[in-house]
Chains A and B, each alone.
Chain A
């Protein structure tokens, strides 16, 4: 008997972004490593020292909060995030830890973004909550080793959901540009933003001084158009998985260009695009064998694993992430070396993936 065919909508939700337990596990490990390196600082605690007049919550749940709590609250939040990220790395109680991580991040950022400025890192913040339902702890994890009977098959609808959220978020950036005249030939929107960030934001490093002096209206107008088309096209690309992956690759290069020109880092978003990489094709097989052996080892040596989890958590809580050491060794001005490395490394990786795909197609 033939299996019932899915409607186009259901097909997109459940089959457009196929993945495997191993691929999802790599995403989980990368996300945990990302948190432990790039987000392992208590970037909320400063809010505790501010008087209440700074607290101006935006529309949303933070308006129900009476004020900013004390420093110990943010210290506890920071400790829970680090421990949660370490548990996610090892894949212990993965679903609950993933959900908890998003809630902890939302709590911390809720206070920081109630001081008059919202930073737009919602996609990497919601990522673990959504991916919790993909069963990304089904491979290379303590969960899979300790309770093999409870392992569930990978679900790919969370990937479709992340794709939709990413596409819509990009669209939400493109639509106001379209509505406020970015495409008008008598105004150069990108150039005015370049000047704004240079003068008011004091973002004057890397290629910013060069572009500050660049009087090339055609170039600037082309950037206006390319930005709007790219950001709005992202939402359309969501429904064509190959095109969506291409847009994610372009986004990596786009963010690098933004760092170089505007000195604004969007390294948080790189981990979102990483969800859509076929890691089993991109990474060497030996790495997966290593992950297999590593997860078997940690499951066999429970006490040693507990010591590693506690030691790693305590080390990062006490001394900060290894990123701080890296940034101290390579001082690069206001933009940290780790952010630059992540942006450049991702761009090289994307170009390599793209070049390989083109080469394989060329060879037939």
Chain B
């Protein structure tokens, strides 16, 4: 059990392991408390567009998985090997065709923005800074 805890502390969380979530201090970073938030925009052939929530986009996954899958698969940090990117793009296309069966989608844009909170007054609205954009063109 101790080995599992050390493995998580210094490398990556193993599974199965007798561990509960760490919930590390999010405000301990030098740049204060920030949240990386994705915004999804779907564009259609008729030049219209619509926003899509992460919950709608990743509905096949358990709710607990969705923010993690967005970060792992649909951010700049995702595996960008060409073959993986190709298969990922095909999956996104299929997913959007399921969600928007009446209009063919032409591309999905995932805009990542950083919400910067004032650590001295966390109830204040955060400052919003765009950080990254990932596009899937079909």
What is A's interface to B at a CB cutoff of 8 Å? 43, 46, 49-54, 56, 58-62, 106, 109-110, 112-113, 115-120, 122-123, 125-126, 165, 168-170, 172-173, 175-177, 179-182, 184, 186-189, 191-193, 195-196, 199-202, 212-215, 231, 334
Contacts and interface: CB of A to CB of B under 8 A. Distances in A.
B9 interface: yes
Contacts, number: 160
B63 to A, nearest CB: 7
Contact of A177 (B7, B14, B25, B73): B25
Interface in B25-68: 25-28, 33, 35-37, 53-55, 60-68
Contacts of B33: 187, 192, 195
A214 B1 CA distance: 38
B69 to A, nearest CB: 5
Interface string B98-117: 00000000000000000101
Contact of B60 (A49, A168, A176, A196): A49
B19 interface: yes
A172 B8 CA distance: 10
A338 to B, nearest CB: 15
B25 A192 contact: yes
Contacts of B4: 172
Contacts of A188: 27, 119, 122
B16 A125 contact: yes
Contacts of B79: 53
A60 B16 contact: yes
A179 B122 CA distance: 22
Interface residues of B, number: 55
Contact of A172 (B18, B24, B55, B61): B18
Interface of B: 1, 4-5, 7-9, 11-28, 33, 35-37, 53-55, 60-69, 72-73, 79, 84, 87-88, 90-91, 115, 117, 119, 121-123
27 contacts: A43-B62, A46-B60, A51-B87, A59-B15, A60-B14, A61-B16, A113-B15, A116-B68, A116-B72, A116-B73, A118-B15, A169-B20, A170-B20, A172-B5, A176-B9, A176-B22, A177-B24, A180-B22, A180-B25, A181-B25, A184-B25, A192-B27, A192-B117, A199-B35, A201-B67, A202-B53, A215-B123
A173 B21 contact: yes
Contact of B11 (A59, A184, A199): A59
A61 B15 CA distance: 8
Nearest to B72: A116
A200 B37 CA distance: 6
B19 A120 contact: yes
A176 B53 CA distance: 32
A175 B5 contact: yes
A117 B26 contact: no
Contacts of B88: 51, 53
B16 A112 contact: no
Contacts of B91: 50-51, 53
A172 B20 contact: yes
Contacts of A181: 25, 28
Nearest to B119: A187
Given A46-B60, A173-B20, A180 B28 contact: yes
Nearest to B1: A168
